[in-house]
Chain A
């Protein structure tokens, strides 16, 4: 409120300063000539004046008293200044880089204060992607990769290295928002408990965010990837925001058929638009079929998406009301199976299906009362989605050695199941993540002629719940023998509710030809419905975020115009834990106490002591990432350079840690049992035993991972050189990322001294630490010969180097735990002890050597050509058509690198 008061005072001050001659008062609207979108914060000057006379509001409107006969000059950074007759009406201004009809095939740096990449439809058409994952090539630091559609694709913004589950908060904390509704993955619990095989492992993206494979690109109009400090309107994120807006309107039937070396894609869409009634309906379907290895049809990935989007606008004198309703289906299917003919008929099948049904409605009320009204826009979004996700694994199990299954769900003593050596096992995971999301916000503007001051206030409420059964298997015939988990009904886990409120002020003022732009806001969020005892219960996480920009007065370079802006921002970002983080599976600790072998199967007996440990970390916090960045944006005659230095530090990312504790059990001496006298399994009563104790770990989630990202991102885009129809885009980045643990970790030595594993646990304050670095530059020359309807691009993607270095860690524990669970300080003399010396780790100096991979370059070629009056277009791409990937030496060893081209072809039809 204080901020608004200040604005009002400032406004009053400025109003008093205005000279009120008898003049013509005009009301105009400034609009982008290409997109027809209102230009917010454009400056309006009366011819001959040295300072700004008016700034456009949220609708692009301004009101100004102009002396008769004078013209006005409208300016906006990156746009050609417009000098025109002063009269009420619409003024169209034209982007310097994107003249009307201009083709932009690269990502553009957003005009907003925070660093963001904007990718338009044309860029996607030219790139020829199969899924959203392919788009990441375009953002600074990106590089074309062969699609890996047989494993989950998660996003990694501004990050070098760190492909480990312990550092997946980075991808988990990147929010994907499609048409105003975020895709929530908080209730994703699709993992095969106890799995050790790669079939399951590489497709498990629990707690890793969105699998980008499942997002098709063909119905997308525009993607904005906010790498920097996002608006407080967006929450539950730490690392970034991917905002997707899909197509609306049009009356064409479009189809796309793409084939590349590993996949085929078919997309069909129909737009229906009734312009007079401002009603539109868009229908589309997409099917992708991909094989990791074209020779192996048994391992594949398939995607089917269906979408229907309705949009209607009503206009009254005072209000424009629009309603959008989207219905979406996404199916994402992994299959991986061993040919039974090569496996003696034994089944070995992995199938994962992900079916998401989503309904999104959006209501938008827009005031048409012009500058007199404080209220401008009200947005209300309501979205629900329900998944039906199933993983099915079937396999013939053949044990390598005698194995048992612990099946008791209760703590205490029980007999284990002695597994047969051969059996067919099935293991299913049934998940039904449900998400409901409601968001309401409104924009208010202080009526003013010379400053633009907009206030956004809003609230959102997010509900996540999983109605699935979770792990479904016969525990007496486990598919993963040795698994210690027991199935639990995940639908019993309480729903997770997150309530957030936010307010953001967007202020623009001009001072002597300079423009100051401030976007400052705060978002407060808290988890509801948490049981008592959780630290997060009742705790409010506040994310203040501020971006400030300063536009210097425009200047002339010969006949052209130049603009310079510097901006900086700082912001806190919060990602709440997922349902799995908050309510992890109980851990079962089973200790063998009675182990009797008999050649007769029915006379064997194994008795175990079971402890049920709740691994819930009630002290778990939300992961928080503090970002700051400084950027400069220079635009001279349509040649634009943007450079950003960023620094992000997240010290409490989610991490699974092992927690050791002592557990008591009995160790029976079965040697006195007379095997010949048995008529059934031996009785336990009366068998002598001794009390034993063992140190066993369970895993628990902590806030123990640090991800420190810093670097520079840059994008240079030249104006199209008219004679050559060619434009040069240079983008790239320097990323330096540190990943390390921030909580002490426990490790038990693997050695056996005497009969049993050493009963000591080392506690190490540093265990893991890596610095990864990379520098890249992509040079893209794109040529668009509109006369020939031909566009092609050549992109030289240079990776100057990548490097990896381990951070030095101490070989000595800081403390250790003995068999009774007591913690002792470590002292150097202990190294001489026959047992304790195994707690000393064996890292050498050379493990901290810098490992650097030198320069390599790939050249990618893409071409599109339109035929038949634009009804047909054919496009092809060849990535790595040429490469320079020299061998290099490391410690005298020559390392050879190989690169294979990857190509694809597509046909687009538009009727």
Chain B
């Protein structure tokens, strides 16, 4: 583990207070401009909100008093924030004319790792181009190797070699600092009648990890990828069927003092920061692919997240032997923070999608059936278009190639 990561870990929770107490940070005013698309007629922006999140502290400031500025295609608001690196995420609703009718659409815009300091100008300025809701952040999940491998001969499972590959699908440099990777709470093979059903607004999660960084620690060049391994080592030494993940930049390391659930910490891979999990032992991806996985830009700090982004729900289970109501609890990630989502399922058992269709309206798979042993060693990989770009239409059925040889296989 790189040295600075250890510092980041407490920093995320402590730095905000520590800074304020010990070395006062200078505050600066920030002017946020929202530019509407120029290809629409008579746009009117409503309910515009920008959430300005300090990457180092996770402290979020919400700005909502946007007023038109100039020709009606630009809105502006002013706020005061401490110096630092910020992720800015703005949402709004735009009414615009198409012919004689007026249409409403949801808009969003994002900027990551924006440096705001008093020295840059008397008043810092950020210009955001408002786009449709489904506009791409640029970081997408290119591949999920969730099935893991089996030992040769005995075909017994080996689970430690799972990985996710995240790729910058834009034409510019993107920082993956504070990017969150999470697993859905619900499973596609068990359709529950949830109350409340918050799927339209948020994804209920089983676990969430954050990529550490100070805003510019994890640059991902256009077209480049980062690999998050469950265990970043050369597994092929142990199991010839497995993969060499020793070059993975990140790994999911679960601190556990229990000898039964010990995890290996490869010093060459950066550990993700664990925010929440509903399983105490260790994290693995569902090896049949009965969960969904997503990326998000967290717009809040850890303490607020675990306190406020939590809900209780009831659900009705229609089991073979009867129907009953049960209670559950989960943390959730608002849909507006999600930048990519991939639904997985067991092909024969799919019953529903566990996230909003706005995030992913399809699903992909490796296992044909629940007991399909041929799934081991297979991966799901995103398709590329003629220009080499990854296809992301928010429909994993169309966007992904199921049952692929993992890209990191020798």
Q: Which of A421, A696, A891 contacts B239 (CB 8 A)?
A: A421
Complex partner residue of B259 from A400, A416, A851, A890, CB under 8 angstroms: A416
Q: Is the CB of B154 within 8 A of A344?
A: yes
Give the residues from 390 to 414 in chain A that come closer than 8 angstroms, CB to CB, to chain B.
396, 398-406
**Least CB distance, A238 to chain B, in whole angstroms:** 33
- Answer yes or no: A751 CB below 8 A from chain B CBs: yes
Judge whether B325 is part of the interface by a CB distance below 8 angstroms. Answer: yes
The reply to whether A672 and B3 form a contact with Cβ atoms under 8 Å apart is yes
Q: Quick check: is A692 within 8 A (CB to CB) of the other chain?
A: yes
Q: What 0/1 readout, one digit per residue, does chain B (137-166) give for beta carbons within 8 Å of chain A?
A: 000000000000001011111111000000
Bound CA span A484–B257, Å:
13
Considering the chains assembled together, what is the distance between the CA atoms of A895 and B266 in angstroms?
52
Taking CB atoms, residues of chain A closer than 8 Å to B266 are: 597, 599
Q: What is the minimal beta-carbon distance from A695 to any residue of chain B, in angstroms?
A: 10
Q: Which residues of B contact A838 (CB under 8 A)?
A: 329
* Any A CB within 8 A of the CB of B1: yes
Q: Which residue of A lies closest to B3 (CB)?
A: A671
A608 within 8 A of partner (CB): yes
Given contacts A482-B260, A750-B279, A891-B323, contact A842 B312 (CB under 8 A): yes
Judge if A754 is at the interface, Cβ distance under 8 Å: yes
Min CB gap A295→B, angstroms: 19
User: In the bound complex, do residue A844 and residue B325 qualify as a contact, i.e. CB atoms below 8 Å apart?
Assistant: yes
Per the 8 Å Cβ criterion, residues 267-283 of B in contact with A are: 267, 273-280, 282
Q: Mark each residue of chain B from 151 to 194: 1 if its CB lies under 8 Å from any CB of chain A, else 0.
A: 10111111110000000000000000000000000000000000
CB atoms of A595 and B154 under 8 A apart = no
Inter-subunit contact A592/B259 (CB<8 Å): yes
On whether the beta carbons of A343 and B306 are closer than 8 Å, the reply is no
A404-B262 in contact given A422-B151, A592-B257, A597-B267 (Cβ < 8 Å): yes
CA distance A140 to B156 in the complex (A): 48
* CA–CA, A743 and B92, complex, Å: 56
Cβ–Cβ < 8 Å partners of A400 in chain B? 156-160
> Least Cβ distance of A702 to chain B in Å?
24
B320 touches A750 (CB 8 A): no
Most buried by B among A482, A484, A751: A751
A763 to chain B, nearest CB (A): 18
Which residue of B261, B274, B323, B329 is within 8 Å of A755 (Cβ)? Answer: B274
Contact between chains at B259 and A893 (CB < 8 Å): no
Find the residue from A404, A590, A592 having the highest chain B CB count within 10 A: A592
> Which one of A482, A834, A895 contacts B322 once the chains associate, using CB atoms below 8 Å?
A895
Q: How many A residues are at the interface, by size bracket? A: 35 or more
Q: A756 touches which one: B239, B255, B324 (CB < 8 A)? A: B255
A892–B323 contact, CB under 8 A? Answer: yes
Q: Given A406-B259, A671-B267, A751-B278, does the pair A398, B322 have CB atoms closer than 8 Å?
A: no
A893 touches B323 (CB 8 A): yes
- B227 vs chain A, min Cβ distance (A): 17
**Residues in B whose Cβ lies below 8 Å from that of A895:** 320-322
- Contact pattern, A 339-361, Cβ under 8 Å of B = 1, otherwise 0: 00001111000000000000000
Flag whether B256 is at the interface (Cβ < 8 A).
Answer: yes
Interface hit among B72-80, B230-238, B383-391: B230-238
For the complex, is B302 an interface residue (Cβ under 8 Å from A)?
yes
Q: Give a binary string over B194-222; 1 marks a CB under 8 Å from any A CB, 0 the rest.
A: 00000000000001000000000000000
Contact check: which of A344, A421, A834, A844 meets B306 at CB < 8 Å? A834
Within 8 Å of chain B (Cβ to Cβ): is A606?
yes
* B-chain residues with CB within 8 Å of residue A890 when the two chains form the complex: 321-323
Say yes or no: A484 contacts B312, CB within 8 Å. no
- Tell me the nearest residue of chain B to A481, going by C-beta: B260
| Bound CA–CA A402/B262 (angstroms) | 7
Q: What are the residues of chain B within 8 A of A595 when measuring CB–CB?
A: 262-265
User: Is B246 an interface residue, CB under 8 A from the partner?
Assistant: yes
> Contacts A751-B278, A891-B323; is A401 near B231 (CB within 8 Å)?
yes
B307 interface hit (Cβ, 8 Å): yes
Say yes or no: A752 contacts B159, CB within 8 Å: no
Q: Are A842 and B321 in contact (CB under 8 A)?
A: no
Q: With A844-B314, A846-B326 in contact, is A754–B275 under 8 Å at CB?
A: yes
Q: How far is the CB of A726 from chain B (nearest CB, A)?
A: 40
C-alpha spacing A590/B233, complex, angstroms: 26
Q: In this assembly, does A94 line the interface, its C-beta being within 8 Å of a C-beta of chain B?
A: no
B303 within 8 A of A: yes
Q: Are A402 and B257 within 8 A (Cβ)? A: no
- Residue from A421, A597, A599, A834 whose CB has the most chain B CB atoms within 10 Å: A597
Given contacts A344-B153, A844-B327, contact A592 B258 (CB under 8 A): yes
- 5 residue pairs from A and B, CB less than 8 Å apart: A399-B158, A401-B159, A482-B259, A751-B280, A844-B325
Listed from nearest, the 9 A-B pairs whose CB atoms lie closest are A891-B323, A842-B327, A344-B153, A482-B260, A890-B322, A846-B325, A757-B280, A752-B277, A401-B160
Residue ranges of A at the interface with B (Cβ–Cβ < 8 Å): 343-346, 396, 398-406, 416, 421-422, 482, 484, 590-593, 595, 597, 599, 606, 608, 665, 667, 669-673, 675, 692, 694, 696, 750-757, 834, 837-838, 842-847, 849, 851, 890-893, 895
Give the interface of B toward A (CB within 8 A): 1-3, 5-6, 9, 13, 151, 153-160, 207, 231, 233-234, 238-239, 246, 254-267, 273-280, 282, 302-303, 306-307, 310, 312, 314, 318-329
- Known contacts A599-B234, A667-B257, A754-B274; 13 further A-B pairs (Cβ under 8 A): A345-B153, A398-B156, A399-B158, A402-B262, A482-B261, A591-B259, A597-B264, A599-B233, A671-B267, A755-B273, A847-B324, A851-B322, A890-B323
